[in-house]
Amino acid sequence: MTQEEKRFIEKIVTQINESIKSDIRIMEVCGTHAYQIAMFGIRKLLTPKIHLVSGPGCPVCVTEPDYIDALIALLRHENVSVATFGDLLRVRGSSGSLEEQKSLGRKVITVYSPEDVLVLAKKKKGEYIVFAAVGFETTAPLYAALLQTAQKEKIQNLFLLTSLKRMEPAIRFILGEAGVHIDGMLCPGHVAAVTGIGPFLPVTTKYHIPAVICGFEAMDLITSIGILCRQITGETPVQFINTYKRCVSDSGNPAALRVMNEVFGISDASWRGIGIIQDSALTLNYIYEEYDALKRFRLKIESIPPDLSNECECEKVLVGEKTPDMCV
């Protein structure tokens, strides 16, 4: 960061802090935003009257326990290996985690891209490779492209167990059914780069809440928070703004949307700590159902009620009513 950028940020922070006279709540619904806000120490720069809260935008955080249980069940099948990104290893189901299964000698393989899984399937033709496909619209096109390649190359030992979520229904749930109070929203730049701005417009047009599609650098975050604060205080009119135009167009990425829609359909999904949200899942359509691990291995994901214990407050954390440090 240049000295000029530091001075600009200091100026914006001063303006923000001087303008906020009462408590306000700004929600980010992107795991990367949550990480960057913490990494840059943005909460420490802002007045305590500005409460930055997190929504259900981290794909690993909202992955339901029964999905992890299904992956563990697959590991009990002969000649089955589960391929996963590293961030899913420690996520717990009702009977443990993939990391624990790996320590017990089960075939859990950490990968870094869908291409790694393709290579793995070609290399281990005598094994079934089940890829844990977790994410939002950001990564769904990558999984879709993987299956299109597998189909084209007639790879028959590769399967997906999907837990792919859609962002727009989650936001609709937060602002509607869950009735969570927020004054402004930082919308996820990564998802919007694929979907375009359409899924996020209702935050402002329907719910009349200031919303900004935001990038991930300190300048992006501070500038966007400043825009939201000016709208919240009435200094400027409430409107939807895309401050991440270098990566996000109004219509998104047509090629990514096309491949995603060719492979996936829409269905209901269970979210960790929340329960069922209608139309919030991307699931394999009939053309690619031969790659569905649930069908191939005749598994059924049994939904576990979100209130796993009387003390569990996952839902309140995931919809921004509480912060993680308040969770028991």
- Round to whole Å and give the CA distance between 209 and 22: 17
The second-level CATH assignment, the architecture, of 1-328 is: 3-Layer(aba) Sandwich (3.40)
Taking each helix axis from N to C end, the angle separating 140-152 and 254-263, rounded to the nearest 10 degrees, works out to 60
pLDDT of residue 182: 95
The reported pLDDT for the residue numbered 238 is: 97
The domains of the chain are located at 1-328
| Amino acid found at 273 | G
96: tokens are 């443990």
d(CA 278, CA 83): 28
Please report, as a single letter, which amino acid is at residue 140: A
CA–CA separation, 231 and 277 (whole Å): 30
Q: How far is CA 232 from CA 124, 207, 236, in A?
A: 56, 14, 8
Mean pLDDT, consecutive 10-residue stretches, the chain (328 aa), reads: 88 96 95 93 96 91 93 95 96 93 96 96 96 97 98 97 96 88 96 98 97 96 98 97 97 98 97 91 97 92 57 71 68
Cβ contacts of 231-240, under 8 Å, gap ≥ 24: 231/184, 232/24, 232/183, 232/184, 233/19, 233/20, 233/21, 235/19, 238/204, 238/208, 238/209, 238/210, 239/204, 239/210, 240/197, 240/200, 240/201, 240/203, 240/204, 240/205, 240/211, 240/212
d(CA 286, CA 293) in angstroms, rounded, equals 13
d(CA 96, CA 104): 11
Tally of CB atoms within 10 A around 113: 11
- Alpha-carbon distance of 196 to 217, in angstroms, equals 20
Q: What is the pLDDT of residue 322?
A: 74
191 with 221: CB under 8 angstroms? no
